[in-house]
Chains A and B, each alone.
Chain A
Amino acid sequence: MSTPAEQLTGQMLDGGWVVGDLIPRTAAQTGGHFSCSYGVTNRDGRKAFLKAMDYTSALKSLDPATELNILTSAFIFERQVLQVCADRKMSRIVRAIGGGKSSVAGSVVEYLIFEEAKGDIRTYLDDAKRFDLVWTLTCIHNICVGVRQLNGASIAHQDLKPSNVLHFSNEGQKLADLGRAWHKSLFSPHDGLACAGDLGYAPPELLYRYVTPDESERRFGADFYLVGSMVLFLFTGMRASQILISELDPHHSPRVWLGTYEEMLPYLSHAFSLNLATVTRSFPDTVLGEEIVDVLQQMCDPNIATRGDRLHRAKYGSRFGLERFVQRFDRLRQAAILGRIHHP
């Protein structure tokens, strides 16, 4: 039987939005799902994406009050964070362009409406069928800008991955899904988790269950790593933790290793330096190769204590600021447009 959140099709919502068809859930979402998605069309012809909260599974859980509290808190947090982004006019964060409540089958369904993208960057890359250096560097630049905008408002994204970087025809790339984010002064039910985002993309300290005492360092250090991981993904199709683990002895993989992160660090540092050497060799253009490897060296250092931009720290007091990377990728993008650098 459909839940109220699954019965929105055809509804006219505030702001002139008409709800279209339900976007089918994937196999992984059909278990404990907490939201469902629709395409929506405005009276003026604009198309958008609607995310409706679905509390049904929480009500059926063993502890409905707690589960419901978590879901509603998460929704309130996401709405508040999106408001912060809107107030600060963050150009590289997917905007919530509407939201509200709708009554369906005697229940109230809360929703958010987001600007609609053409798809995530994987879709773009599949359609493109060839490597485009200018597009890649532009995309990285946009990701850096997006994370800088969030970090500048004391928000850590925490779940930066290819599926959360959306591609827009006219505006380029924007970061989506702030559901697992962290804000310095807003409460989120995920705040107690060491790794709120997808562990499959997480930096080594989180993969090896190390929690730095300094929360800002932990959150922004992870975002910094994830940006570097996206740089690697866009050039190679691989993420930073993947190539790191590929270089490790199988006994040292996060699934198998039963020791501490501190004990693993020398092995991680060694694997990382071997990775960098391999990545360097894969760039025929040595200028571009040196730039990318330097970026990876700073961003994807498995040691959170040494990760970061030392020059940024000297100037602004934080190792994880992205200002210099925004400038750097803008400069590289210009160089690519002018044909001064090439890849592959």
Chain B
Amino acid sequence: MSAGYHDRDRHIFPRWRSFAATSELGELAQPAVEIKNDTSELDISLAKGIAGWEGSSSLWRGLDLLGTAVVAGRLEEFSALVAEIKSNPLTPKITREFLERTHGDKSVQLQLPGCDAISGQASRHEIRAHRLHLASAPRDPIEWMELARSYTIAGLNDKAAKAVLAALQLAPDNRFVLRSAARFFIHIGEKDIAHGLMSRSRLITHDPWIMASEIAIADSMGKTSRISKIAREKMEADVAPSELTELASALGSVEADGGNHRIARRFLRRALDGANENSIAQIRWLNRSRLNRSDSEDAVDVSRANPPLLHEANAWAAFHKGEFDIARKESLCWLRDQPFASAPAVLNSYIASALFLDFEAGKETALESLRSNPDDPMLVNNLAVCLMEIGDLAAAETYLSRLSVEGRSGVMEATYKATYGMLEFRKGNIEEGRRLYQEAIEKAKNSSDKGTAARAAFHLAFEELVAHTTHVDEAIKRLKEFEGQDDFVERARFFERVNELMRND
């Protein structure tokens, strides 16, 4: 079992949230290209409206004046009139409702995703609602993208692709549509398409959000971005820091990959100014994996940054500090924020089952996420482990059979071998199980993946204990080999489990 697969590599790919959440986070606040904005005509219009109202105040003149105030962006100056109109029984009901919505404290209306459990039912309701909406508004590109997101969460990628294409056709040069579409194509493994969308966009030379995504996708494909020079120039332009945070992170990541740590740190410190959670998660990951010279000090200090929805960064930070309660909660929040993504589900299911022995919760998380990610081998792996712990061997075996031969090889081969070892143990094929575990341990050690080797060694000990074999002492003795290892933060919890099993033995 493992949490680490998705932590081995990270790129600042665009997040894909609902339009409302993306707007609330301010990621659509600034245009790609600025033009002059003279609003004096709106002030003149409002002055005329006020004069008309002062000359003869009445309900319908008041309604008319409020209309001008809303259009002129100065409704907050008309609180008394709003109150008067809302309390007038002759005011149309729909108008009262609109005034309730528009004349209130915007900060209390935040609708960012919470941390409640995900539900398949909810995504089906959402699909229905979006489809109904589109039946009467088929030219609304944002709604097509919302439908695509709901389809993606439900694992209906073909339908999602059609919805994404519809949105792109209606709004081929819109930041929200483009970045959401790119994230969809990354999700389904079509990075080429995602990169093409970004690099061919008319916004690519103007919009720092599009530039950031293009650079990140190119980097993940091992390509060099063709806009890297323009992007560096953009960093010097007179643009709000919050608009540049992802671009600075993307450029910093490329430099870090190239070993230019000093330049990387310079970009990443720029990214901290007005940072969003994606930037912070990227910087923390780079600190962990590329830049830090010691455990005690981060190369780029992100401790003061606290943007909304900082769940991914917090989940990993807590996990690596061994604060598993926090890591479990934050990973669930991260999953709620990006419900189609497999990384938060892998981490959450791992923490729930391996560290809290809450195999039902681990199973539920993995199952939910498999709807969106039916081929994610690590989700299948974690689900199979949970099912074996619950005692449903047949289901576990069925799920494991989904892992292709190619899927079983590669960087996570040791983890899969260990899981097959567990299966053999639970089926009573102790010798075969032990052999597979030992192979897993050796394989991980040979790849310098001592964390995975340690996890496999502990799981072998668990299985020997559960099966009451004569190899328990040998398995426990072997654990000493992994003492003092920094990348294996679960050690204390795993020892607790060993002790518990020994007491029960």
Chain A positions near chain B (C-beta within 8 angstroms): 26-29, 121-123, 125-126, 129-131, 161-163, 195, 198-201, 207, 209, 233, 235-239, 241-243, 245-246, 249-260, 262-263, 265-267, 269-270, 272-273, 276-280, 282, 293, 297, 303, 306, 344
Q: How far is the CA of A27 from the CA of B91 in the complex (A)?
A: 27
Residues on B with C-beta less than 8 A from A131 are: 92
Q: How far is the CA of A243 from the CA of B63 in the complex (A)?
A: 12
Most buried by A among B58, B70, B92: B70
Chain B positions near chain A (C-beta within 8 angstroms): 19, 23-24, 26, 28-37, 39, 41-42, 44-52, 54-56, 58-61, 63-64, 66-68, 70-74, 90-95, 97-98, 101-102, 106, 133, 136-137, 139-143, 170-171, 173-174, 176-177
- In the complex, the chain B residue whose C-beta lies closest to that of A31 is B47
Residues on A with C-beta less than 8 A from B48 are: 28, 198, 200
Residues on A with C-beta less than 8 A from B26 are: 251
Task: Tell me whether B71 and A270 are in contact (CB under 8 A).
Answer: no
Q: How far is the CA of A243 from the CA of B32 in the complex (A)?
A: 25
Smallest CB–CB gap between B206 and chain A, Å? 10
Smallest CB–CB gap between B103 and chain A, Å? 9
Task: Tell me whether B174 and A303 are in contact (CB under 8 A).
Answer: no
Q: Which of A241, A256, A260, A273 contacts B71, CB < 8 Å?
A: A241
Instruction: Supply 13 further A-B pairs (C-beta < 8 A) apart from A122-B61, A254-B73.
Output: A26-B51, A123-B60, A125-B59, A201-B71, A209-B35, A238-B67, A255-B37, A259-B30, A259-B31, A260-B31, A278-B94, A282-B92, A303-B139
Task: Tell me whether B30 and A258 are in contact (CB under 8 A).
Answer: yes
Task: Tell me whether A263 and B31 are in contact (CB under 8 A).
Answer: yes
- For this complex, 29 residue pairs linking A to B, each with C-beta atoms less than 8 Å apart, are A26-B54, A27-B55, A28-B52, A122-B60, A122-B64, A123-B60, A130-B90, A199-B42, A200-B42, A200-B45, A200-B46, A207-B71, A209-B37, A237-B63, A238-B63, A241-B71, A245-B70, A245-B73, A246-B102, A251-B23, A254-B42, A258-B35, A259-B31, A266-B176, A267-B28, A270-B19, A276-B136, A276-B137, A277-B137
Task: Tell me whether B64 and A269 are in contact (CB under 8 A).
Answer: no
Residues on B with C-beta less than 8 A from A27 are: 50-51, 54-55
Smallest CB–CB gap between B332 and chain A, Å? 28
Task: Tell me whether A26 and B42 are in contact (CB under 8 A).
Answer: no
Q: How far is the CA of A195 from the CA of B106 in the complex (A)?
A: 31
Smallest CB–CB gap between A84 and chain B, Å? 27
Q: How far is the CA of A266 from the CA of B143 in the complex (A)?
A: 10
Residues on A with C-beta less than 8 A from B173 are: 262-263
Q: How far is the CA of A263 from the CA of B37 in the complex (A)?
A: 14
Smallest CB–CB gap between A293 and chain B, Å? 8
Task: Tell me whether B28 and A249 are in contact (CB under 8 A).
Answer: yes
Task: Tell me whether B68 and A259 are in contact (CB under 8 A).
Answer: no
Residues on B with C-beta less than 8 A from A209 are: 35-37
Known: A200-B72, A273-B136, A277-B133. A237 touches B51 (CB 8 A): no
Q: How far is the CA of A277 from the CA of B140 in the complex (A)?
A: 13
- In the complex, the chain B residue whose C-beta lies closest to that of A162 is B64
Most buried by B among A125, A242, A262, A265: A242
- In the complex, the chain A residue whose C-beta lies closest to that of B58 is A126
Q: How far is the CA of A207 from the CA of B161 in the complex (A)?
A: 34
- In the complex, the chain B residue whose C-beta lies closest to that of A255 is B73
Smallest CB–CB gap between A144 and chain B, Å? 20
Known: A266-B142, A270-B19. A344 touches B64 (CB 8 A): no
Most buried by A among B46, B55, B140: B140
